[in-house]
Structure 1
Amino acid sequence: MPIDAAKALAAEPRTGEISWNSKDVQLYHLGIGAGLPATDLDELRYTLESRLHVLPSFATVAGSGSPGVIKSLSMPGIEVDLARVLHGGQTLTLHRPVPAAGTATATGRIAAVYDKGTAAILVMRTEVADADGPLWTNDAQIFVRGEGGWGGDRGPSAGLDMPAGDPDKTVERPVREDQALLYRLSGDWNPLHADPEFAKLAGFERPILHGLCTYGMTLKAVVDTLLGGFVTRVRSYRTRFAGIVYPGETLRIRMWRQDGAVRVAVSAVERDDAPVLADTVVEHT
């Protein structure tokens, strides 16, 4: 069996040093669509080093992914075909604001392995801390098609109910044709997002956008509209990747205010509002 759950869970954590600077932050922000219009003062918070604010979702790529999904898939007990791998969900917990430059220690391990019958889900946890203490914790839920069926724990399955009533805010965000090519420069080199032949082998008509790019675009929309542009208000951010996005499409982002949180649903406009992100919650101060 390509996935040995017991071996994967028992494996020693991988620890390494990561570092990033303002250029990495700016590149990430450009990769999720920041900078339009280029002279807009609100957008310059994401693109100009002299006034740089760090969107918390940058933590998913800081230090080139720390340690990154592809690297994590080579851990003991795991041997899978990248063409069968999809990013199923992401949870980010902020312990402190993400600095525009820094050096930290990233510790990665497999926190859970779930058997969904026709697939497996790996929960890859990365904890990042610097000299002053914990910075953030990332949990990536990785969906591996065709690797389930060994009778293991099925894990949680209940989703969140949709909020009642009309959204408090709805925005549309275009995805550029070259967005996946730009976003991948922040560290996710999976050919599924760039190589048409590889994408066809994986069952897609053409390369798809990184789920974490949609994740970042969505958080930026929430911060810019309902959180007054204050990136430091974000405390945690979780989502389930419910569908794909093709570069060139438009995201419809619907937001509902709740006590200390914003609930979000994201869909692809051109495909009759096909779901893209579901069970999405931004907790904030």
Structure 2
Amino acid sequence: MPIDAAMALAAEPRTGEISWTARDVQLYHLGIGAGANPDKDSPATDPDELRYTLESRLHVLPSFATVAGAGSPGVISGLSMPGVDVDLAKVLHGGQTLRIHRPLPAEGTATATGRIAAVYDKGKAAVLVMRTEVTDAAGPLWTNDAQIFVRGEGGWGGDRGPSTRPDPPTKDPDRIVERPIRPDQALLYRLCGDYNPLHADPEFAKLAGFDRPILHGLCTYGITLKAVVDTLLGGDVTRVRAYTTRFAGVVFPGETLRIRMWRGPDRVRVAVGVAREVPPLERGGEGAGGDAPVLADTVVEHS
């Protein structure tokens, strides 16, 4: 069996130094669409976008933690851990959970420790949970859990893992926003450190079962968090405490995301779909409203 759960869980954590600069933060923000003006008739940059793109005003969106230090250790690193030997073409990013311990600095050096925290047997697939804990001289910065879905690697009789999912919202969303995805968005975003050919190489995408390269799930993840911060949190990135999602579908560059938000006292429930017409059997998902769902069970916890 390509995945040896006992060996993966017993493997020594991998620890290394990571660093990032304001330029890395700016590139990430551009990679998730910062700097765009929602007023298509105006050639000027939206002044509110300068907090993401201008070094003298730079605030760091917490989802930058998923790529800081070129995203290592992360999903690809987890696939090279002892006990894990899988075909990259069978790998999908199943979900992401990020907990922020302190606001992220625009420049920094920190220690990242990565390990396989769990291995789940889903029958026709396996799920690896790659946990990365990052600290600097002042203490913990963030904890990142990436759920790595590997098709065809389940069925050994292991733990299926947690199955509890939040109940879907019962009322109309408080806010709905749309975010267009540029045709070259994946090519720009991959410069943040995720060079998986699934997002750039048409031939590799076909091997993985897609007509063309797909957008990184973490790019959609970042676009969504930015929409929540800008729309419901007054643009204050320091209010974000945690952010979790399950990747429920794919996005192709050139499509448009429709982001639905339900406001709570200390959290925002979110559902994200692609704003396109799809056959009825392919519709559904939390709050999808007829869109093709791409992020589900999504919660932003905030102060």
Is TM (by shorter chain) over 0.5?
yes
SS at match of 1:282: strand
| Structure 1 segments unaligned to the other structure (5+ residues) | none
**CA-CA distance at 1:12 after TM superposition:** 0.1
**CA-CA distance at 1:41 after TM superposition:** 1.4
Q: Relative to structure 2, which stretch is displaced further, 152-161 or 57-66?
A: 152-161
Size of the aligned set, in residue pairs, is 285
Do the aligned partners of 2:74 and 2:146 also contact (CA within 8 Å) in 1? Answer: no
1:278 and 2:284 are equivalent in the alignment: no
**CA-CA distance at 1:164 after TM superposition:** 1.4
Which letter maps to 1:218? T
**CA-CA distance at 1:253 after TM superposition:** 0.1
| Matched ranges for 1:121-200 at <5 A | 121-200=127-206
What corresponds to 1:9 in structure 2? 9
Question: After TM superposition, where is structure 1 displaced by more than 2 Å over at least 4 residues in a row?
Answer: none
SS at match of 2:149: strand
1:100 and 2:106 are equivalent in the alignment: yes
Which letter maps to 2:4? D
1:258 and 2:264 are equivalent in the alignment: yes
Do the aligned partners of 2:74 and 2:130 also contact (CA within 8 Å) in 1? Answer: no
What corresponds to 2:61 in structure 1? 55
**CA-CA distance at 1:67 after TM superposition:** 1.0
Do the aligned partners of 1:175 and 1:248 also contact (CA within 8 Å) in 2? Answer: yes
**CA-CA distance at 1:271 after TM superposition:** 4.0
**CA-CA distance at 1:179 after TM superposition:** 0.2
Identity, in percent, stands at 82
**CA-CA distance at 1:39 after TM superposition:** 2.4
Q: Deviations over 1:46-93 (max 9, x none)?
A: 000010010000000000113121122101000011000000000000
Do the aligned partners of 1:180 and 1:194 also contact (CA within 8 Å) in 2? Answer: yes
**C-alpha distance in structure 1 between counterparts of 2:137 and 2:277, whole Å:** 47
Match of 2:218 among 212, 218, 226: 212
**C-alpha distance in structure 1 between counterparts of 2:20 and 2:123, whole Å:** 39
**C-alpha distance in structure 2 between counterparts of 1:182 and 1:159, whole Å:** 33
Do the aligned partners of 2:186 and 2:200 also contact (CA within 8 Å) in 1? Answer: yes
SS at match of 1:141: strand
Q: Deviations over 1:163-222 (max 9, x none)?
A: 111111000000010000000000001000000000000000100000000000000000
Do the aligned partners of 1:127 and 1:136 also contact (CA within 8 Å) in 2? Answer: yes
Do the aligned partners of 2:98 and 2:143 also contact (CA within 8 Å) in 1? Answer: yes
Do the aligned partners of 2:198 and 2:204 also contact (CA within 8 Å) in 1? Answer: yes
**C-alpha distance in structure 2 between counterparts of 1:196 and 1:271, whole Å:** 24
**C-alpha distance in structure 2 between counterparts of 1:162 and 1:180, whole Å:** 30
| Structure 2 segments unaligned to the other structure (5+ residues) | 38-43, 279-290
TM-score when normalising by structure 1: 0.99
